[in-house]
Amino acid sequence: MNRYAPHVYVIPEDDRDRQIADGFVLHHQVKDARIQVVPPAGGWSKVLKTFQDEYIPRLRDYPDAHVVMLIDFDDQVGKRKREFDQEIPANFKTRVFVVGSKYEPETLKKALNISFEEIGKSLANDCGAGTVEYWDHAQLQHNDAERQRLVQTVMPFVF
């Protein structure tokens, strides 16, 4: 990945979130050289710690870098969003995104009856097609504002 061109780092909470992110990257319209899915952090609080320790410096050093933190909201959407928002420096808020399932990926997988990877591909398909069929699912609706920001910010160089 060229750090001097617009790019995105995805920090998944766990392996299930990583599979969703990988599915997104595997979509045929996605420019996979612009997205790097890093190893799972091992919990939502570790996602935040990884962001603080490793990715704030990268955002500082590379103005075209973006970060997506892919977490499970564990049915605490408002609380978790506030916690993450407080830890994202103001000057990076336009380049950092927090998205994930309302409960956990298994709940979403059961509801959609498709694999984690297929969930990711379906979400990417929605982004590429300008639709919200999958993003509008009850487990993902709370991401709407972040999804819109992501589409406006990263779509031009990811698709």
Mean pLDDT in residue range 105-120: 97
Q: Name the nearest CA neighbour of 47 among 75, 72, 78, 23.
A: 72
pLDDT single digits (tens) 10-31: 999 999 999 999 999 999 999 9
Mean pLDDT in residue range 27-40: 96
pLDDT of residue 42: 97
Does the structure show a pLDDT above 90 at 2?
no
pLDDT of residue 135: 97
Average per-residue pLDDT in the chain? 96
Does the structure show a pLDDT above 90 at 72?
yes
CA dist 154 and 30 (Å) reads 11
138 contacts: CB under 8 Å, gap ≥ 6 = 102, 111
2 contacts: CB under 8 Å, gap ≥ 6 = 33
Q: Name the nearest CA neighbour of 11 among 74, 84, 76.
A: 84
The DSSP secondary-structure symbol of 54 reads I
Q: Set out the domains of the chain in order of their start, with CATH numbers.
A: 7-158 (3.40.50)
Mean pLDDT in residue range 35-56: 97
Does the structure show a pLDDT above 90 at 147?
yes
